[in-house]
Amino acid sequence: MALIIKYIIAGLVRYWLIHIDYWQTIANRVEIATPLNSWKRLVEGVFLYDHNINPYEGDAFHESPIMLIFFHYLMKNVPYLLPLLFTTLDLLTAYLLFKTSKSFIKIFMESQAKNKCEVAEESYKLLLIESELEESAEYVLSTYLFNPYSILNCAGMTTTVIQNVLVAASLWGASTGHAILACAFVALATHQALYPILLIVPIAILLADVNKGCNKCSYIKTLLAFVLCWGFFIYISAYIMDGSYNYVYNTYGFILTVPDLKPNIGLFWYFFTEMFEHFRLLFVCAFQINALALYIVPLTLRFRKEPVLLATVLIALSTIFRSYPCIGDVGFYLALLPMWKHLFKFMQQKFIVGCAFIITSALGPTVWHLWIYSGSANANFFFGVTLSFATAQIFLITDLLFAYIKREFTLKHGSSRRIDDKPAILLLR
């Protein structure tokens, strides 16, 4: 009953925000809307398509053709249902994350029981019981439903709402062993935003663990299913555009080359605004390698036994370093963190990171107003806030990973520290 009340309250808040007089202001905020997910650009793309003009010939529309035809149908036939649709999809995302965390509880308990023989006797108190993990699932639900980032993202009716539900569905499918569902949803999310392609690695590992098929053949099958699904969506998109693949440049190409330098909460826009043009290609490649390829191998090798943690970290890193991030992306991965509530006691920077999130979230709109409307600030002020926001996120992720390593070490070796068979003493001189 308590869960139903949470859904109702969260849904009403989202639906109410979509209908208030300030909705247009919310939908156009740079922290919420980007050139990729903006509702305003989506409406423009649908308008052009409806008048037999290719929306990909200009620089206004960058969503996939599947999203274009989907919203074209809705706007033409049931436009009054759009606020309800976005609210429902956001609540569905919360529900899928809740079910994913429930499945993760079973996986974690099985892993803990299997490795119990390796736990030091004095570290038994760190072993978790199922009731503690059940609380984590409820925290995941509440964090997504009542996170201001997620609420404002839904209220702005951005297409990130759809991306979030697709990623959540892929994680749920992987955690329950439904390989085709997981691959199809992550392929559709990749087709929309490209960066979810990173998730195929933890999803493949998670599917192999859940289905007890941890071998090369299992990984290859998952990868093949993903490639086939992605290829199918690319073909369908070309079919929608009368057999033309020209849309690829204005979707994937737009994400990779970053031609639109409108300010957002990311790191790309300021660097490429200030950069000499002849260095652009070098730094575009460096930035995109950092976002898409740099961390996948080392993190997979180190955290291959915890694919859910690996997925959480990869989602967070792709959010921080992608070309057009928004607070909806941030709200999504923050909702996954309560699954790792048992690591919080090993984290050292919770207070600093929490303060940084609050301060930068308040300063961002303030500095933006001073820069754009008052003229008493400049781009350096706003970029300083976004850089601090990104730094806080990086501290959060690194602190979480170090906390996992600390707990893993303590479980195996115990919490006591001895040097030459004598208790270790820390002396400050």
pLDDT tens string for the chain (429 positions)? Answer: 788 899 999 999 999 999 998 899 999 999 999 999 999 999 999 999 999 999 998 888 999 999 999 999 999 999 999 999 999 999 999 999 999 998 888 888 777 777 777 777 666 677 777 777 778 889 999 999 999 999 999 999 999 999 999 999 999 999 998 999 999 999 999 999 999 999 999 999 999 888 876 667 788 899 999 999 999 999 999 999 988 898 999 999 999 999 999 999 999 999 898 888 888 999 999 999 999 989 999 999 999 888 999 999 999 999 999 999 999 999 999 999 999 988 888 898 999 999 999 999 999 999 999 999 988 888 999 999 999 999 999 999 999 999 999 888 888 777 666 656 666 665 545
Helices 160-175, 200-210: crossing angle, 10 deg rounding: 30
- Residue 387: how many CB atoms within 10 A of its CB? 14
CA distance 386 to 230: 33
CA distance 190 to 187: 5
CA distance 322 to 166: 18
Instruction: Give me 207's structure tokens.
Output: 């599917």
Q: Does residue 171 contact residue 164 with C-beta atoms inside 8 Å? A: no
**Can you name the residues that pair with 419 across neighbouring β-strands?**
422
CA distance 414 to 124: 9
Q: What pLDDT digit, counting tens, does each position of 233-276 carry?
A: 999 999 999 888 989 999 999 999 999 999 999 999 998 988 88
Q: Does residue 10 contact residue 94 with C-beta atoms inside 8 Å? A: yes
Instruction: Give me 62's structure tokens.
Output: 């960058």
Q: What pLDDT digit, counting tens, does each position of 116-136 carry?
A: 777 776 666 777 777 777 788
The alpha carbon of residue 197 and the mean position of all alpha carbons in its chain are separated, in whole angstroms, by: 12
CA distance 336 to 259: 32
Regarding pTM above 0.85, the answer is yes
Q: Residue type at 412?
A: K
